[in-house]
Structure 1
């Protein structure tokens, strides 16, 4: 019987064979894979050969002492790497259940997580001391079926196929700048802002256009200016005097209190979009998801 394949269940390859193949694919070398796995080079070579035999597909091209992935091998390696990573995370999550009520793997928008959610988490851990929350950063929606995550914080429309959504809050968008920049350029009216660079946030490409249009100003320059991936970076760029930022007010409360940023023209704009807790329908009954959902909705005053 082929040791590289487990009988039944469509002959799933053994983990040892998959680990040997993934390491050899990543290093492009059986020798370096053997060093990583604490095996002999011959053992890795045999595992890969048995895997190829079981699959009926050549995964490597062999030329003297060098190996390189075939097209099939490269595609298989990418899938296997993802699968092994998910298995490793699942194992760590299972181990975390020892003496605990459970683990919640949560994806959060980075600035929302650091500025709003994490400062409030001590209240959650006090109410649920046995639940551990693991954080990942996600800027855009993703497929729960391909990510080892239980829930996510989403901004936008209440649309996420196959998932349940709970609205948490809306937001007020305001322009902010360093006090020195405001004084230097004499910003008193919305039109004065067109003198300055407009700092851009990558996932909100129309933020400036929407604000300018609400003030009756032409949006031609709305998308011109340095671009940043996260609101935290945009806020810091504004503090440094690189230009004007357009941000949710609640995400820069600390800078506004300290005076590092000011709102030169306080004309907030609100929209239909909002922040949502999202989780796949099949995880709606998980105790960790239920506990976090109920706490978060109460914290936001959303009520359901």
Structure 2
């Protein structure tokens, strides 16, 4: 059965005309001619069987019926618009990907490159939460996560994104940072250590065939991203994944001090809920494509992981 209400177009036009008290200005706002607005108002008045505007005066004015109708209709239009926006927001949220990301991968790789994904998938919404430590998708609000681990946790869908390779980098402001450096020259620099991987430098020198000399003491920081910032500040040389410093190396802010890369037994993995598989498929494909050009120029060795 048809409801005894006028069209939504006529109500929107009436609201604009009542607000401006001008058919011309209402038309300008809505992209209509003054004549089109006038015709819609006449049709609405015929539907209601009541005049809404007093046209006898020089300036357009609402009749008493027009004022009453305006006061009743405008709140309903506002409520209808609010309900529509809320429904659209819910649709957007259902399409969004809630992603937990290991902190260093988040800051040093994902966020700088994420505009490439968004430009390829207009309207895509990725809600990112930077995280340190383990995550259980079953007890979290996340659809997927990027983790640093020796292997993905059991019982979840997963794909490896990249192995963790470590290469020494330093700012050109650091005295003695003139690559390529031999092991002895590298050892003479202030070395930045990782709290999560205290033996990383030891493993790197072992891979270079220079494990006979003791390591000098150096500052110790947590996370690759903190060590990266310390290296950029000129505080010392840091072992960092090349993928995290591509732009810094390209612009000369960081120098690669030696060629061998140390690969350990940890990687970054993307894990996800099966229920979210279809939603994250474009993001997964983009990440694998973007990381696919990484060449394994690794030297043998063991690189403990950091987040």
TM range (shorter): 0.5 to 0.7
Do the aligned residues in 2 keep the contact of 1:209 with 1:222 (CA within 8 Å)?
Answer: yes
Deviations 1:117-142 (A, max 9, x none): 22332333244334321111123322
Q: Separation in 1 of the partners of 2:246 and 2:114?
A: 18
CA drift of 1:202 comes to 3.1
Q: Select which of 100, 121, 126 maps to 1:128.
A: 121
CA distance in 2, matches of 1:95, 1:202: 46
> 2:178–2:257: 8 Å Cα contact kept in structure 1?
no
Query: Does the C-alpha gap of structure 1 residues 235 and 149 become closer, same or farther in structure 2, counting only changes over 3 Å?
Result: same
Listed one character per residue, the Cα deviations across residues 209-258 of structure 1 (whole Å, up to 9, x for unaligned) are 22121122338855943222232221221222222111111211222222
Tell me the alpha carbon deviations over residues 171-223 of structure 1, each in whole angstroms, 9 at most, x when there is no partner.
Answer: 43211122243438998311233333321223333322221211223388559
TM-score, reference length from structure 1? 0.58
- Indicate the SS of the match to 1:181: coil
Ranges in structure 1 where 5+ consecutive residues have no aligned partner: 1-92
Distance 1:165 1:133 in 2: 18
- 1:283 is aligned to 2:275: yes
Distance verdict in 2 for CA 1:94–1:288, change over 3 Å: farther
Distance of aligned partners of 1:235 and 1:191 in 2 relative to their CA distance in 1, 3 Å threshold: same
Shift of 1:107: 1.1
Residues in 2 aligned to 1:100 and 1:186: alpha-carbon distance in whole angstroms:
49
Q: Is the 8 A contact 1:155 1:274 kept in 2?
A: yes
Structure 1 residue 99: Cα displacement: 4.8
Aligned-pair CA distance for 1:278: 1.0
- Pairing 1:177-188 to 2, within 5 Å after superposition: 177-183=170-176, 188=181
Alignment-derived partner of residue 151 in structure 1: 144
Q: Go from structure 1 to structure 2 and tell me whether the alpha carbon gap of 1:221 and 1:98 turns closer, same or farther (over 3 Å shift).
A: farther
1:108 maps onto 2:101 in alignment: yes
User: What secondary structure, in the 3-state scheme, does the structure 2 residue paired with 1:159 have?
Assistant: coil
Q: d(CA) in 1 for partners of 2:140 and 2:214?
A: 38
Who is 1:239 aligned against?
232
**What TM-score do the two structures reach when normalised by structure 2?**
0.58
Map residues 157-172 of structure 1 onto 2, 5 A cutoff: 157-172=150-165
Judge conservation of contact 2:179–2:257 (CA < 8 Å) in 1.
no
* More displaced 10-residue stretch of structure 1: 162-171 or 291-300: 291-300
SS at 2:161 equivalent? strand
Q: Secondary structure at the match of 2:257?
A: coil
Closer, same or farther: CA 202–163 of 1 in aligned 2, 3 Å: farther
Unaligned 5+ segments in structure 2 are 1-85, 294-307
CA deviation vs aligned residue, 1:23-60 (integer Å, no higher than 9, x gap): xxxxxxxxxxxxxxxxxxxxxxxxxxxxxxxxxxxxxx
Contact 1:101–1:130 under 8 Å retained in 2: no
**Count of residue correspondences:** 208
Given that 1:174 and 1:263 are in contact with CA atoms closer than 8 Å, whether structure 2 keeps it comes out as yes
Is the contact between residue 208 and residue 223 of structure 1 (CA under 8 Å) also seen in structure 2? no
Q: Aligned equivalents of 2:189 and 2:107: distance in 1?
A: 29
